[in-house]
Chain A
Amino acid sequence: MQRSRFSGYTACAAALALGALFLFYAFLNVSQSDIVSLDSLGSTAFYAITIPIALVALLVCGTGLWVGWTILTIKVAPPMPEIVEKKDFARFKALVLCLLVLAVAAAFVYGLSVRSYWALAIPAAAVTLVVLGMVFWVGVAIITARATLPESKKK
């Protein structure tokens, strides 16, 4: 194996392995008693896990709400003539986005209040898998990337 490709294979393998481990232990290998046992966690342990996950989840929801709200409340001079007609539909979509985000945030907060395992597991999975997905994607790109110099020049 070319040394230059080694980091790519390593990144892919690490991302796949960590992703698989995460999914297995967080979703597949969880018994009903484990989920219920979240209730038995002490307050300190519960909040130590909950607060970072809640901050990230609410940050994402907040960003979605902010984007939707900004589109809904844009106050700029009239847009360029050629696009006036196309802008109104975006506002409807922005309203849907706001409502959707509010619903997700409310469900998340409710989940936390009843100490639901899934309220923690789903956002944690989303963040972990997005980051690992990016690492994997970079790894694939490294493996398949062409070196800058064409083969003829390398010789």
Chain B
Amino acid sequence: MRILFLCYRGNPFCGGQGIYLYHLTKELAKLGAQIDVIVGPPYPDPLDEWARVFRLDNLNLWAERTRRLPYEKLARVLSPWHFTDYFLTRFHIFPEMETFSMRAFFFMKELLRKRRYDIIHDVQCLGWGLLPMKEYGMPIVTTVHHPLTHDRRADFMVDRNMWEMFCTIMFYPLTMQRAVINRLDRVITSSRSGVSDLGAEYGVRPEKVSVVYNGMDVEGFRNTGEPREKRSLLFVGNTEDHKKGMRYLFEALALLPRDVTLTIVDEGPPGRLSAWNIITELGLRERVRFTGKVSLQELASLYSRATVLVMASLHEGFGLPAAEAMACGTPVVATTAGALPEVVGDEGAGILVPPRDGKALADAVMKILADAGLRGSMGEKGRRRAEENFAWPVAARNTMAVYRDVIESYRRAV
């Protein structure tokens, strides 16, 4: 099977789509697929062993003031697509998806003179360019982990004034995504809750949605055997993302005994202050530590040493940290928001509590901290669940099954 991936940001360290692209293409290639990738910056780690990569340009002008742009960017801003990016970003529009899809559309015109594909797989771009791309005569599937409407709602919760609300509204390309997603051949989402979510937010019919659980590196995320700390909570994620419910996590920490500490895998102050401000307000400075960015090995070590992973999310399209912690044999306390119940499961790998309830989070954490036997059994069940459901080879096989179904339907209809 010949598959063309479109990914507007390909680097694994700048978002979930980069990780998805890297691992999924690698596993699909092992299944015998021919993989080509059209990708925007920041570009992915080398995929050359298993994929042919075509890099599209983008000056990444978002949130950059004109006077601070380096000369190398300024000298190129006046070309048509870069100027479009520049023009739109000045109005606080985030145009990367729009312009990437249009650039990809024009690039494909040349590419298709030499290469043929059975299917196009868009990785949560949903740009306008996908609509004319349909005329190239191939089915297009897209992966959407969660609708951006959730991100926008979470931003509205912390917007303090009219200007911040204006910026939020302009930032999210919801109109475009709603228009494009309903015209594609299939939508892949990473949880059953995602099906109803896409229906409610974008009006996507359930029969157009296929569920493929996200993959994760179950070999990389394995218990390291290091001694486990007795009273240490772990949070992994972007503390500036308001969907993570950081306030409720800190409220829970404030209710727990003073010897319970929290390690956050993210940048802290001075660069990122949202979480730090709440920590300061609640008097938790001595009990919270930020690690900054860590390598995969360091992350596996942190999971393996932590007593409990805590996720206070208000919404999760999947909840990868929960799956990673389970793979390392670490108990999970998470909310019932989004796909977290599906990830944690009901086999006893973790405890689920309602979102927006710091007290319930604290109670669940206390229950685990107080019972070593429970921690052990949760860890074992978590590892088993992760291996069976969330390994990348499993995700690749299921994705391939979706491709076959879509191609068959498409060819029948033509």
Binding site for B on A (CB under 8 A): 4, 7-8, 11, 66-67, 70-71, 74, 76-81, 83, 86-87, 89-90, 93-94, 97, 131, 134-135, 137-138, 141-142, 144-148
Contact = CB atoms under 8 A, between A and B. Distances in A.
Nearest to A85: B160
Contact of A77 (B165, B247, B356): B356
18 contacts: A4-B75, A7-B75, A66-B169, A70-B165, A71-B162, A71-B166, A76-B153, A77-B314, A83-B158, A83-B160, A86-B161, A93-B162, A131-B87, A134-B86, A137-B66, A138-B66, A138-B86, A142-B71
Contact of B71 (A78, A87, A89, A145): A145
A145 B69 contact: yes
B90 interface: yes
B292 interface: no
Interface of A is mostly: helix
B67 A144 contact: yes
Given A11-B78, A134-B87, 10 more contacts: A4-B71, A71-B169, A74-B156, A80-B247, A86-B160, A134-B86, A144-B67, A145-B74, A148-B70, A148-B71
B211 interface: no
A146 to B, nearest CB: 7
Contacts of B242: 80
A99 B10 CA distance: 43
Contact of A90 (B70, B77, B162): B162
Contacts of A8: 74
Given A67-B169, A138-B78, A79 B87 contact: no
A94 B307 CA distance: 48
B360 interface: no
A11 B66 CA distance: 14
Interface residues of B, number: 30
A19 to B, nearest CB: 16
B78 A147 contact: no
Contacts of A83: 157-160
B170 interface: yes
Interface in B81-113: 83, 86-87, 90
B148 to A, nearest CB: 14
B288 to A, nearest CB: 18
B153 A134 contact: no
A145 to B, nearest CB: 4
Contacts of B67: 141, 144
Given A7-B78, A131-B87, A70 B169 contact: yes
A145 B69 CA distance: 8
A65 to B, nearest CB: 12
B149 to A, nearest CB: 10
A89 B161 contact: yes
Contacts of B219: none
A144 B78 CA distance: 16
Q: 10 smallest A-B Cβ distances: which pairs?
A: A145-B71, A90-B162, A93-B162, A76-B153, A79-B157, A142-B74, A141-B66, A86-B160, A71-B165, A76-B156
Interface in B385-405: none
Contacts of B77: 138
B72 interface: yes
A141 B170 CA distance: 25
A97 B160 CA distance: 17
A9 B204 CA distance: 50
